[in-house]
């Protein structure tokens, strides 16, 4: 029998943001979020033991995503949803303020090299996002084998001024994940950081809305784009670059490979140019839609100007 495990997968790029969590789970219940669920042992164990609660997992690994969805389907677990999205962006952009009862992080990569410091999930900016989406009195819990990561995590929780009861514990009770078992076998120390949400910070979000960016041009001049391919275009709202232009041999249609960067969040997508009765429609390609951030929207509008060489382009 063919299993439908896609029902557990959430695609926030197709939703108005922030998400309607009650509609997502078709019920109102306390919500707990795990950032980086890996093999999914912790997420599934908690979902089975607390069936009156909703659980949502964030992960970037396709393999992890497929594994957990197969198990959720096989065991008929109904109170778990999963999504594949960057954790920093996802926590900040996808959840309404004060909508999450608790957030778990089990053995995130500590990214010890300085050149990878922007990927660490113990920064003040990330923890402000966590504070924004947690309900007052909600908890955050970290397990890690890196003392330095744990100490910075605890310190930065305090720096936000949004948490109380911040505690760092050495060798706490196990959460029974694959990485924890591995580090225990190797004799490593384990550290746990917990804190309680006190107040909600003001947070600037950049994604969302129901606007699908598009523009119309009367005349198409592809040669205009060739002049600036692979040249980053910097605007106040972000940076974007057009990488290549592909033509459909059987139709009046082009695809422009594009990269847009909002702060530290980068997206790779295609902009479609399609001949219609009243001219050329420039819009996001429907396959692999990006989040509609300011840089993505600007990339679409500027492409129309460039291709028609209207005054004001760039």
**Any binding-site annotation on 179?**
yes
Structure tokens at 250: 């059987």
**Any binding-site annotation on 248?**
no
User: Distances in Å between the alpha carbon of 35 and those of 74, 85, 121, 299?
Assistant: 23, 10, 10, 30
C-alpha–C-alpha distance, residues 125 and 117, integer Å: 13
Q: Are 177 and 42 in contact (CB under 8 A)?
A: yes
**Any binding-site annotation on 178?**
yes
Main-chain dihedrals φ then ψ at residue 128, nearest 5 degrees: -65, -40
Nearest to 255 by CA among 242, 236, 241, 265: 242
**Any binding-site annotation on 34?**
yes
**Any binding-site annotation on 155?**
no
C-alpha–C-alpha distance, residues 1 and 44, integer Å: 23
**Any binding-site annotation on 181?**
no
**Any binding-site annotation on 125?**
no
**Any binding-site annotation on 59?**
yes
Structure tokens at 107: 């053995």
Q: Which residues are annotated as a binding site for S-adenosyl-L-methionine?
A: 34, 59, 86
Q: Which residues are annotated as a binding site?
A: 34, 59, 86, 145, 177-180
Q: Which residues are annotated as a binding site for substrate?
A: 145, 177-180
């Amino acid at each position: 029998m063919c299993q439908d495990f896609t029902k557990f997968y959430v695609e926030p790029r197709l939703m108005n943001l922030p998400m309607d969590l009650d509609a997502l789970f078709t019920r109102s219940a306390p919500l707990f979020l795990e950032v980086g669920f890996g093999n999914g042992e912790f997420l599934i164990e908690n979902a089975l033991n607390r069936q009156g609660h909703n659980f949502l997992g964030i992960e970037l690994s396709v393999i992890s995503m497929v594994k957990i969805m197969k198990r959720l389907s096989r065991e008929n677990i109904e109170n778990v949803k999963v999504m594949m999205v960057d954790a920093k962006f996802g926590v900040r952009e996808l959840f309404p303020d004060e909508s999450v009862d608790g957030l778990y992080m089990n053995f995130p990569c500590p990214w010890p090299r300085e050149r990878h410091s922007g990927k660490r999930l113990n920064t003040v900016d990330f923890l402000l996002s966590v504070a924004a989406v947690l309900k007052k009195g909600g908890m955050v819990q970290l397990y890690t084998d890196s003392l330095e990561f744990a100490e910075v995590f605890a310190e930065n929780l305090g720096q936000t001024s949004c948490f109380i009861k911040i505690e760092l514990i050495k060798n706490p009770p196990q959460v029974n994940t694959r990485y924890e078992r591995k580090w225990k076998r190797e004799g490593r120390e384990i550290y746990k950081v917990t804190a309680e949400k006190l107040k909600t910070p003001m947070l600037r979000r950049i994604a969302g809305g129901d606007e699908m960016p598009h523009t119309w041009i009367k005349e198409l001049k592809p040669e205009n784009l060739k002049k600036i391919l692979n040249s980053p275009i910097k605007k106040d709202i972000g940076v974007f670059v057009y990488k290549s232009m592909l033509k459909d041999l059987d139709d009046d249609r082009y695809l422009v490979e594009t990269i847009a960067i909002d702060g530290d969040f980068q997206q790779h997508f295609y902009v479609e140019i399609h001949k219609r009765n009243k001219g050329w429609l420039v819009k996001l390609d429907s396959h692999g839609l990006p989040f509609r951030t300011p840089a993505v929207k600007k990339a679409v509008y500027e492409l129309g100007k460039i291709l028609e060489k209207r005054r004001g382009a760039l």
